[in-house]
Amino acid sequence: MGPALLFCPGDRPDRFGKAAARADAVILDLEDAVGPESKAEARRAVQAADLDPARTIVRVQDATAAGFDDDLAAVAASPFRTVMLAKAEGPQQVDRVVEEVPGARVVALVETAMGVLAVEQLAAHTAVVGLMWGAEDLVASLGGTSSRDEAGAYRDVALHARSRVLVAAGAFGVTAIDAIRTDIADVAGAHAEAVDAAASGFGAKAAIHPSHVEPYRRAFAPTEAQLDEARRILAAAEATPGVFSFEGRMVDEPILRHARSVVARTEAAGGDGGAR
């Protein structure tokens, strides 16, 4: 999927190409970004979109929404097969997507209390290729009013959901996608959040504005110093089997896996590291 995923309203086909060109993948949104009066128009636009299916995700409404079946029908009639299921709460909802969209690859968006409780079941579903979490809908589902404290940091309940999604994704070998940052103007905050996401094990982060794409990509690309160290550790491991000392610290298999991850992220980004 690439590290930077960009949402685009489904009823704005004039923006589809621009969004796809700017991000690693575009998420054509049939849910929150589209008003009730524009849903039908958005579905027609998605069906007619001329985008790379491998880099396009369609977010459909949740399984309880009146237009859920219409959204699935629109995706089935389109060239796209990666479906983001909003407010996913159980594997039976994923089954409905697969029944209506043959060959669907599902990204389960966990953003309700019930979804958090079912996250392991969602991750285990054979059609699920990714898990994403959302803070605002989650807190709203709990009767709360804000996912962040006065300093801008996530509240504990949001961090709990984030961790559950990340661990479940890792356990079942699917991509974990970090939530959007709603503060569009805070580009530095977006970068810092993406740095933490990459270091924690997320494979991507979603954005609602193009200005966050570059900071995300920069965050997920290891620095030159990190890449150099990782390569030196792996080279030392080839010459010294088992646990060994490297520049004053012990290196065992978990450290080697960290190093391999740094190299893999660099290769996935198609570069040799970058500055943060």
Q: What is the pLDDT of residues 209-230, one digit of tens each?
A: 999 999 999 999 877 777 888 8
**Distance (Å, whole) CA 20 – CA 39:** 21
Same domain, 216 and 231: no
Q: Is residue 248 part of a domain?
A: yes
**Distance (Å, whole) CA 189 – CA 37:** 34
Residue 181 has pLDDT above 80, yes or no: yes
Q: Is residue 180 part of a domain?
A: yes
Same domain, 173 and 262: no
Q: What is the pLDDT of residues 116-162, one digit of tens each?
A: 999 999 999 999 999 999 999 999 999 999 999 999 999 999 999 99
Q: What DSSP state is assigned to residue 77?
A: T
**Distance (Å, whole) CA 27 – CA 148:** 25
Judge whether 25 and 1 are in contact, CB under 8 Å. yes
**Distance (Å, whole) CA 210 – CA 32:** 18
- Check the annotation: does 37 bind a ligand: no
- Check the annotation: does 50 bind a ligand: no
Judge whether 115 and 84 are in contact, CB under 8 Å. no
Classify 189 as helix, strand or coil. helix
Q: Is residue 215 part of a domain?
A: yes
Phi, psi of 82 (to 5 degrees): -100, 115
Residue 43 has pLDDT above 50, yes or no: yes
- Check the annotation: does 59 bind a ligand: yes
Q: Is residue 276 part of a domain?
A: no
Judge whether 177 and 130 are in contact, CB under 8 Å. yes
**CB atoms < 10 A from the CB of 238, how many?**
7
Judge whether 27 and 5 are in contact, CB under 8 Å. yes
Query: What is the residue range of 266's domain?
Result: 224-271
Q: Is residue 198 part of a domain?
A: yes
- The number of distinct structural domains making up the chain is 2
Q: Is residue 148 part of a domain?
A: yes
Same domain, 59 and 176: yes
pTM: 0.85
Output the domain CATH number for residue 132: 3.20.20.60
